[in-house]
């Protein structure tokens, strides 16, 4: 047995795994009857349908030819994901004034063409100021400008 369609194989594998996960997590939800569907009814049906599609795709990968998956872009994937996670962690603690540059700088590493020079730095400062003025001051998004790390260190009026 040889996998002839890599994309079919992995998509099928993911569908099977996710379906199994949903079915297992939902094993205790009350099924109810057809006339009074319980919370477990619809997920059970959908779970098995997804399972079937996954199995079909997996089996098909052994007897029809298909495309290879090709290289995964780990650099942008890791950089962008980390950037968002860092932003999420830094907004409540350090505040937007640090979280936003962190988000931009980490995501910038995703591209091999990023230029790190004075102009980029100035653009980053401008973007940060713009976002604080527009989103926090203008639209009133309750994001702390300086987060909980600065509680008691600076006047509260600086923090928002």
Q: What is the nearest approach in angstroms of another protein to the Cβ of residue 23?
A: 10
Q: Which long-range contacts (CB under 8 A, 24 or more apart) does 52-56 make?
A: 53/12, 53/15, 54/11, 54/12, 54/13, 54/14, 54/15, 54/16, 54/17, 54/18, 54/19, 55/12, 55/16, 56/12
156 binds another protein (CB under 8 A): no
Picking from 110, 73, 103, the residue whose alpha carbon sits closest to that of residue 86 is 103
Q: Which residue do the tokens 């040889």 mark?
A: 2
Cα end-to-end span (Å), the chain: 62
**Interface pick for another protein out of 1, 65, 113, 117 (rule CB under 8 A):** 113
**Per-residue contact track with another protein, 23 to 62, x per CB under 8 A?**
--xx--xx--xxxxxxx--xx--xx-xx--xx-xx--x--
Contacts with another protein by CB under 8 A lie at: 7-8, 10-11, 14-15, 18, 22, 25-26, 29-30, 33-39, 42-43, 46-47, 49-50, 53-54, 56-57, 60, 67, 69-73, 75-77, 80-81, 83-85, 87-89, 91-92, 100, 103-104, 107-108, 110-115, 123, 127, 131, 135, 139, 141-143
């Amino acid at each position: 047995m040889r996998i002839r369609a890599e994309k079919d194989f992995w998509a099928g594998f993911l569908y099977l795994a996710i379906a199994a996960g949903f079915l297992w997590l939902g094993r205790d939800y009350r099924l109810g009857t057809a006339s009074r569907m319980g919370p477990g009814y619809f997920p059970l049906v959908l779970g098995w349908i997804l399972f079937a599609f996954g199995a079909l795709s997996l089996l098909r990968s052994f007897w029809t030819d298909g495309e290879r998956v090709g290289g995964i872009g780990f650099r942008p994937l890791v950089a962008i994901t980390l950037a968002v996670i860092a932003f999420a962690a830094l907004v409540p603690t350090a505040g937007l004034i640090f979280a936003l540059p962190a988000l931009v700088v980490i995501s910038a590493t995703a591209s091999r063409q990023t230029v790190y020079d004075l102009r980029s730095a100035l653009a980053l400062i401008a973007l940060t100021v713009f976002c604080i003025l527009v989103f926090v001051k203008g639209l009133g998004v309750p994001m702390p400008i300086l987060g909980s790390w600065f509680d008691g260190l600076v006047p509260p009026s600086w923090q928002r």
